Amino acid sequence: MKEAVASTRERGLDYGRLVESITRLHGRTQAGAAAAVNQYLLLRNWLIGAYVVEFEQRGSDRARYGDRLLACLSDDLLKRGIRGCSQDRLEWMRRCYVVYPQLGRTLTDRSLIPATLSRILPNRLGAGVPRISATVSRKSKAQQPTPISPELLLRLTWSHFIELIRIEDPWKRAFYENECLHGHWSVRQLQRQIGSLLFERTGLSKNKAAVLRRAQSQESSADVADLLRDPYVLEFTGLGERAEYTESDLEKALLDHLQQFLLELGTGFCFEARQKRITVGTKHDYIDLVFYQRRLRCHVLIDLKTRPFTHGDAGQMNFYLNWWKKNGMERGDNPPVGIILCSDREKTEVEFATAGMDNKLFISRYLVALPSPKQLQEFIERDREEIEAQMTEGRAS
């Protein structure tokens, strides 16, 4: 290796510059790939919204569906293997088309646009921000902000758009569009500034520029890695979400062993999912392990924390269980059971959540179907010590 580097330098090339140039090239092309995928996702969702609006306004059989249109459409698309089109997401797509009609100007493949829509599209694209609520409808076109250019909009992700579409006041939305683009905000940064009432604080302040400078200085630019890991992008491209995105090395190793431990108990555990994503609005949460327990006829949700137990862990599990009761249960299932495993270096705490199951029925059956708290505590503590010892030896070598 040293000889190869020396030979390279003899030919007048700086090896360090070579490595740096390739690194910069990789970063730029990776960013370009992420931006391209995000743009296609955004345009797909805009076009789906266009199709839905076109059907609602001109579909000959729309009366058959009425308010059930999005629910029926979501179910039928899922049957065809098209993910990411839940009822609430279809509503976001519809609103994206209504709020940002100018995005249609970026479509070079006009065959993607419905024939009936293509006839009215030029007029729609020249209009201001369409009316989407009673509050906005009272404003005249003269009071509307100038629509931002579609080229600039394409720098934002679909996750950004969901946050912006939530804002009904067009001036407030335009404010956050500008600041988001100016500061290259990530979605979390945008959410934080909306939550901190930056728009309202700026309007009330005498020194508006100072408020904006302070807000921008507190934010770091969005990372390309965040774009590549965006659950919407992964879903759109068909790429699986990797557990490594949300787990530390220790957590991953513990979950690997815990998963195998439960399957080897021989009491009816069937593995179903790892790092199962559940989405409410634009907030994504991940359940560490999901099993189906045949003897209890219910799902078992497991949440592992490599730290002491806090009261927020119980609230989080309660959220998971309520979401699962609404979205994950099939006919004949009992309500899900939650297991919280919190572990520091000295002690492991185990909490079971029954999620509304009849306690007498549950207690009489779960003791023979689920591992006891003592079993789980002993397993986690022993396993953690072994894994930490292996990790320490690996670093030392």
Q: Regarding predicted confidence, which is higher, 181 or 397?
A: 181
For residue 340, what are the CA distances in angstroms to 278, 304, 306, 356, 365? 17, 6, 11, 16, 19
Report pLDDT digits (tens) over 273-309: 888 888 877 678 889 889 998 888 889 998 888 788 8
Q: Regarding predicted confidence, which is higher, 312 or 238?
A: 312
Is residue 100 classed as helix, strand or coil in its secondary structure? coil
Q: Regarding predicted confidence, which is higher, 119 or 250?
A: 250
- Residue 140 confidence class, pLDDT cut points 50, 70, 90: very low
Q: Which CATH class is domain 245-396?
A: alpha beta
In this predicted structure, what is the pLDDT of residue 305?
84
Quick one: CA torsion of 106, 223, 283, 351, rounded to 10 degrees? 160
- Residue 366 confidence class, pLDDT cut points 50, 70, 90: low
In this predicted structure, what is the pLDDT of residue 96?
93
The Cα–Cα gap between 48 and 64 comes to: 20
Domain ranges of the chain: 2-232, 245-396
Mean pLDDT (whole number) for 254-258: 83
In this predicted structure, what is the pLDDT of residue 210?
63
Positive or negative, the CA dihedral 223, 224, 228, 230 is positive
Q: Is the pLDDT of residue 219 over 60?
A: no
Is residue 13 classed as helix, strand or coil in its secondary structure? coil
| Phi, psi (deg, nearest 5) at residue 46 | -60, -45
In this predicted structure, what is the pLDDT of residue 397?
61
- Residue 265 confidence class, pLDDT cut points 50, 70, 90: confident
Is 336:355 a contact under the CB 8 Å cutoff? yes
In this predicted structure, what is the pLDDT of residue 108?
63
Report pLDDT digits (tens) over 327-351: 888 888 888 888 888 877 667 888 7
Count the neighbouring beta carbons within 10 Å of the beta carbon of residue 137. 10
In this predicted structure, what is the pLDDT of residue 93?
92
H runs (alpha helix) in the chain:
2-10, 15-58, 69-79, 87-99, 115-126, 134-137, 150-153, 158-165, 170-183, 187-195, 198-204, 208-217, 224-229, 231-237, 249-263, 311-327, 359-369, 373-396
Quick one: CA torsion of 327, 331, 334, 337, rounded to 10 degrees? -30
In this predicted structure, what is the pLDDT of residue 187?
84
Report pLDDT digits (tens) over 45-102: 999 998 898 888 776 676 677 778 898 998 899 888 887 888 888 999 999 999 998 8
Residues ≥6 apart with Cβ < 8 Å to 255: 243, 247, 274, 288, 289, 304
Q: Are strands 337-343 and 298-305 parallel, antiparallel or unpaired?
A: parallel
**How far is C-alpha 281 from the geometric centre of its chain's CA atoms?**
9
Is 48:161 a contact under the CB 8 Å cutoff? no
In this predicted structure, what is the pLDDT of residue 68?
85
The winner for highest mean pLDDT among 243-247, 333-337, 365-369 is: 333-337
Mean pLDDT (whole number) for 127-147: 49
Q: Regarding predicted confidence, which is higher, 135 or 33?
A: 33
The Cα–Cα gap between 352 and 260 comes to: 20
Q: How many residues are there in the chain?
A: 397
The winner for highest mean pLDDT among 197-201, 217-221, 360-364 is: 197-201
Q: Regarding predicted confidence, which is higher, 389 or 110?
A: 389
In this predicted structure, what is the pLDDT of residue 227?
62
Is residue 372 classed as helix, strand or coil in its secondary structure? coil
Q: Is the pLDDT of residue 122 over 60?
A: no
In this predicted structure, which of 69-78, 177-186, 245-254, 381-390 has the lowest mean pLDDT? 245-254
**Token pair listed for 333:** 């299932």
| Phi, psi (deg, nearest 5) at residue 228 | -70, -25
In this predicted structure, what is the pLDDT of residue 118?
59
Q: Is the pLDDT of residue 133 over 50?
A: no
Q: Is the pLDDT of residue 364 over 70?
A: no
Mean pLDDT (whole number) for 172-192: 86
